[in-house]
Amino acid sequence: MSDLSFAASAAAAIAGAGIDLRTGRIPNALTAATAATGLTLAVAGVTGTSPLASVAGGALGLGLMLPGHIAGGTGAGDVKLMGALGTVVGPGAVVVMFLASAIAGGALAIGHAWRRGRMGTTVARTARLATGAAGSKTAVDAAAPLTKFAYGPAIAVGAIVAGLWR
């Protein structure tokens, strides 16, 4: 990942984190602009990421985050942000970004559950979700008002870790 890719991905991820913390959403305008920037930089040849790698990074970012969204663990904005960032950094770095985001997100989830006094309930529901127990997505969706937190900061941590990993 080039310095320009790192700067662009970190800036977009930090902006997404700030907006997510304030509003609970990551706007389509941010994800679309980030994806367009990633593709433009790749076509211009200024980042070392080819246009094909940019598209592959975007698709991989979407693909890595989509199961979490389908299971009810992440929002659509989180999925789109990871995909958009993938167009900037390419497929190799988006895997590192995803893994670092997952670790940071897990830490945020534990902190959120602890602060709300819901650690036992959260662990039990997470176990049901992980084992694919019937009705687990319904249970996650029903608990959403009590368990929802902004995942954008975890993605920002992942973007920074991926940039430093290079």
pLDDT, one tens digit for every residue, the chain (166 residues): 799 999 999 999 999 999 999 999 999 999 999 999 999 999 999 999 999 999 999 999 999 999 989 887 789 999 999 999 999 999 999 999 999 999 999 899 888 888 878 788 777 777 776 676 555 556 555 655 556 789 999 999 999 999 999 7
* Cα distances (Å, whole numbers) of residue 103 to 30, 47, 50, 117, 137: 24, 27, 28, 21, 21
Q: Which pLDDT tens digit goes with each residue over 5-32?
A: 999 999 999 999 999 999 999 999 999 9
pLDDT at 147: 61
- What is the spatial distance between Cα 148 and Cα 145, in angstroms, rounded to a whole number? 6
Closest CA to 85 of 5, 26, 149, 165: 5
pTM: 0.85
Q: Find out whether 128 and 139 touch, Cβ atoms under 8 Å.
A: yes
Domain locations in the chain as residue ranges: 3-165
Q: Name the E strands within the chain.
A: none
